[in-house]
Structure 1
């Protein structure tokens, strides 16, 4: 995930092509696609688009139609990121025509473009069209052509589940994720992917109030992430936070506290104290300490969060007043007044986190 280093290496590679390769070679096109991927990851969409167009021109000259279609899908994705939806549709439809012609109507490449179109129409509020493309993709995944990999099908099902989730159909999304997980469970090297699916299932179980299933799903994801060497990633910290919230709903406060404390350490290290995910864990940990009667510890964290907002993040965030009110209640309970020059807790400073959904739960103000 070191995109700056990746970009430097790609630049050197393209310089070598300019000096030693034929103009617009297939090899240069492949490296431009890699550079486009790096630029997209860094949010530099215009540069990514430029590299993809040059790669496409090289592939057209070499009559590599399927590669051109694959690049058209990538170009469509960039247009989506830029909210240039008409151009995205045009790119996807070009790719769809080629894939249908060269691979057949039931090929997973066709299904993958259907998924991209479904996502686009969902984003633009055309839900009927979005659902239609989802159904077309699911029809292909239900009866895959020979040679289709389970990874392709699982990936498609996971993407479609995200669309169902976003239109408030969590039960349908859960069914698709369960199918995807079953396809991958016997495949080597898929533990991290399965853990990601389980974490998403945990969030959806939580959303529909199935807290025991949510906790179990998160626990399974956490176990896989620990064994696969991702126990210090920001994603792992977020999953710990979400599992903690499920434990709160099950009144397993001690377990929740341990999970929030571990999540805090990871997210501070990976993302920093100012990241929204880290702040969310701070808030959840303060709420847990409050629920456990550790009022002094809760006050300490909330004072730190408010100081952080006032000095670095600004106080326009609606959470500020909520946190300020919670701190005032705790101080009243503890018989103190807020220290305006609150003691510095910079020893807590560390980075990491990725919050998905946010809501208040229980009187202490937990957040997901």
Structure 2
């Protein structure tokens, strides 16, 4: 079977940023480096910014302490980008301590520290502690801003995303229902936040096997984006791609090509002609065209996707293995066994190196190779 991609959900922003302070090395300078993904340069700039904010916070005013907390947030973000999750936790806890000094322990502004701290704990495989922090954030916002505020709706969405990631589907569904209820009351004609929530709810329905409801919610999400003049944004690509995936899996193929081509155009516009995201669409189109019996076009798409992935990711990457596996299966179907052998061998080597010799992926890859070797032996015997 050709592999298909996972569903996509949008993750929440980790922290809200306040106005910069004009210092030699400012939070704004740090954030500029982070936005540019200049992680090497950002380390020095953000560390200097933190030192500057510590010196400037001697008066312990709420504004000074908030700026200091923001400096810790920025270093936490840098650590997250570098996958240094324990260091990120340290900075976010420092940020929380500073904001507690500034506002007290029951102020909703603590959420700017609590949400990213929870994310760092998820990455450290401490989901129970992360959940407590997110529930604390929800309670603080409800007490300060009311249960039907937009800020409360956002944290319902954050909790839903957390529950989806930790496979707590019933809890995720309740949070999404609360989020959508609030947003539809606040924005009766729809909002992009509502569209994101419907996409996430569709993912939950899909996980529960409720396919008609999932398809309906994916379409509702797309419709809201289009009505809010967001028809050509990266955000709409999530429900478009999820709908295309579900339709492919349920063999409802008529719309799939147009959906995938639409996502491809969006990704080309925002990410570039040869981005990893565009390569993913080439791979998906290859899978689709193979299902439709369009073998020549399927091979073209799969080879294009493979070439981009190798260029962007290197040859020893699991996405490269995925492309090689899909191309190898197509070549086997066409009885081009020697060509199939080359790409399936490479897929097996990559999977073995990335997941280990005993992983389910490695075992499956070797089983596929054994089938290919069996067909090659049979073919040679028949020719002899």
What TM-score bracket applies, with the shorter chain setting the length?
A: 0.7 to 0.9
Aligned pair in 2 of structure 1 residues 29, 308: CA closer, same or farther (>3 Å)?
A: closer
Query: Is 2:210 aligned against 1:169?
Result: yes
- Distance, in Å, in 1 between the alignment partners of 2:261 and 2:371 is 30
Structure 1 residue 261, shift from structure 2 partner: 0.8
Q: CA deviation at 1:220?
A: 1.3
> How far did residue 262 of structure 1 move?
1.0
CA distance 1:139–1:62, change in 2 (3 Å): same
Whole-angstrom CA distance in 2 between matches of 1:246 and 1:199? 13
Partner of 1:347: none
User: Normalising to structure 2: TM-score of the pair?
Assistant: 0.75
2:23 is matched with none
Deviation at 1:169, TM superposition (A): 3.3
The residue aligned with 2:39 is 4
- CA RMSD of superposed structures (Å): 3.2
What SS class does the counterpart of residue 229 from structure 2 fall into? coil
Displacement of 1:319 in angstroms is 2.6
The range that moved more, 2-11 or 218-227, is: 2-11
Task: From 167, 182, 193, give the equivalent of 1:152.
Answer: 193
Q: Distance in 2 between matches of 1:43 and 1:206?
A: 34
Q: Which runs of 5+ in 1 are unaligned?
A: 337-368
Alignment equivalent of 2:267, drawn from 201, 211, 225: 225
Q: Is the CA contact (8 Å cut-off) linking 2:169 and 2:204 kept in structure 1?
A: no
The alpha-carbon deviation at position 132 of structure 1 amounts to: 2.4
Give the equivalent residue in structure 2 for 1:90. Answer: 132
Alpha-carbon contact 2:176-2:197 (below 8 Å) kept: no
Aligned partner of 2:251 in structure 1 is 209
Checking the alignment, whether the CA contact within 8 Å between 1:7 and 1:39 is kept in structure 2 is no
Helix, strand or coil: the match of 2:175?
A: helix
- In the alignment, the residues of structure 1 paired with residue 195 and residue 349 of structure 2 have an alpha-carbon distance, to the nearest angstrom, of 45
Bigger Cα displacement from structure 2, 136-145 vs 78-87: 78-87
Alignment of 1:282 onto 2:324: yes
Q: Distance in 1 between matches of 2:69 and 2:186?
A: 30
Q: Which whole-Å CA distance do the structure 2 matches of 1:243 and 1:258 have between them? A: 10
Rounded Cα–Cα distance in structure 2 between residues aligned with 1:145 and 1:70: 25
2:289 touches 2:298 (CA, 8 Å); kept in 1? yes
- Structure 2 unaligned regions, length at least 5: 1-35
| Alpha-carbon separation, structure 1, partners of 2:273 and 2:96 | 39
How many aligned positions are there? 335
* Separation of aligned partners in 1, 2:46 and 2:218: 35
Q: Is this contact kept in 2: 1:106–1:145, CA < 8 A?
A: no
Q: Is the 8 A contact 1:218 1:243 kept in 2?
A: yes
Q: Give the corresponding residue for 1:364.
A: none
Matched with 2:287 is 245
Question: What is the aligned partner in structure 2 of residue 323 from structure 1?
Answer: 368
- TM-score (norm: length of structure 1): 0.78
* 1:13 paired to 2:49: yes
